[in-house]
């Protein structure tokens, strides 16, 4: 075979080999699940949170996917098992599952528990709830616990309790006249379409506490939890509208003992059956 032909064949073989390895292998991105306290139906939660997850995926390099739960009770059971890698968790739930999750960030605004009735309802106070329907979300809800264990101790006041899958379901029930009152909070009321809250009236408020926190599971590598935290904080400067949609417009660092140990004083030092 002529030298020129041999040289040409060798070049073609080398070229085909180089083409196979033209780019270095990319390390597979970490895949994590994200859950949100089910104050809304899953479809509405996805609509609000999907743009935020998409941006966080771009900023962190993680592959982030939703993990949905039908109601607070199922959500809490999932937290006890440490199922979601990251989660937006209600304050009392967070204190209960603290062996499994550590808070990273929260909104700076406090959360206040509310008992609401229709604007024209004859109910003026908790004392008027005897024999009337009172909706409440299932699971370990801060306001429900405060109201039922502290504010409705009088055995003469016996409301007809109606558990609901989400806060918003109960609020809608009151608006439609199907329920007399609902236990909710200032966080969940921000999810109500503007103007509709004018159909409601507050008859009771709890003491304010820090609101829900974005938390990471204890099994998440520390560097990945910090990367997620930094990406969320960076959104204040780059995409504040995404934080608005997730009800964290004034995002700030969260601390378990500083922010949530109040629940040890209110309800004792109990935890769920989660173990580290």
- Do 226 and 248 lie in one domain? The reply is yes
Q: In this structure, is residue 24 part of a structural domain? A: no
Give the model confidence (pLDDT) of 5-26 as tens digits.
544 444 443 344 333 333 333 3
- Domain of 76? 31-110+210-267
The count of domains in the chain is 2
- Do 154 and 76 lie in one domain? The reply is no
HSE on the CB side for 239, CA within 13 Å? 15
Give the model confidence (pLDDT) of 144-175 as tens digits.
877 877 677 777 788 999 998 888 889 999 99
Calculate mean pLDDT across residues 229-248.
Answer: 97
- Do 145 and 257 lie in one domain? The reply is no
Looking up tokens 């085909």 gives: 16
Mean residue pLDDT across the chain? 85
Q: Is a pLDDT exceeding 80 seen at residue 211? A: yes
Helix, strand, coil percentages for the chain (3-state, nearest 5) = 40, 20, 35
- Do 218 and 96 lie in one domain? The reply is yes
Q: In this structure, is residue 8 part of a structural domain? A: no
Residues making up the chain, counted from first to last: 276
Q: In this structure, is residue 128 part of a structural domain? A: yes
Chain centroid to Cα 211, Å, comes to 10
- Do 200 and 176 lie in one domain? The reply is yes
Q: In this structure, is residue 162 part of a structural domain? A: yes
CATH of the domain at 225: 3.40.190.10
Looking up tokens 């378990």 gives: 256
Q: In this structure, is residue 72 part of a structural domain? A: yes
Q: Which residues of 202-230 are buried (b: 16+ CB within 10 A; e: fewer)?
A: ebbebeebbbbbbbbbbebeeebbebbbe
pTM score above 0.75 = yes
- Do 217 and 170 lie in one domain? The reply is no
């Amino acid at each position: 075979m002529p030298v020129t032909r041999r040289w040409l064949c060798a070049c073609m073989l080398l070229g085909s080999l180089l083409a196979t390895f033209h780019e270095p292998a990319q390390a597979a991105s970490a895949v994590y699940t994200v859950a949100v306290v089910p104050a809304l139906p899953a479809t509405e939660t996805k609509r609000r949170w999907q743009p935020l997850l998409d941006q966080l995926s771009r900023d962190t390099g993680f592959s982030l996917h939703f993990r949905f739960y039908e109601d607070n009770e199922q959500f809490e059971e999932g937290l006890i098992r440490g199922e979601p890698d990251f989660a937006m968790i209600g304050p009392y739930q967070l204190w209960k599952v603290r062996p499994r999750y550590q808070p990273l960030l929260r909104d700076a605004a406090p959360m206040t528990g509310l008992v609401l009735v229709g604007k024209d309802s004859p109910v003026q106070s908790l004392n008027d709830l005897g024999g009337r329907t009172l909706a409440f979300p299932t699971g370990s809800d801060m306001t429900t616990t405060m109201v039922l264990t502290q504010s409705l101790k009088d055995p003469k006041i016996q409301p007809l309790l109606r558990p609901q899958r989400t806060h918003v379901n109960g609020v809608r029930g009151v608006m439609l006249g199907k329920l007399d009152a609902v236990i909710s909070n200032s966080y969940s009321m921000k999810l109500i379409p503007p103007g509709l809250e004018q159909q409601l009236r507050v008859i009771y408020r709890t003491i304010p506490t820090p609101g829900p926190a974005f938390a990471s599971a204890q099994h998440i590598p520390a560097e990945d939890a910090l990367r997620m935290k930094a990406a969320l904080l960076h959104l204040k400067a780059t995409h504040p509208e995404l934080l608005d949609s997730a009800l964290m417009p004034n995002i700030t660092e969260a601390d378990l003992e500083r922010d949530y140990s109040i629940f040890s004083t209110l309800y004792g030092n109990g935890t769920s059956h989660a173990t580290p």
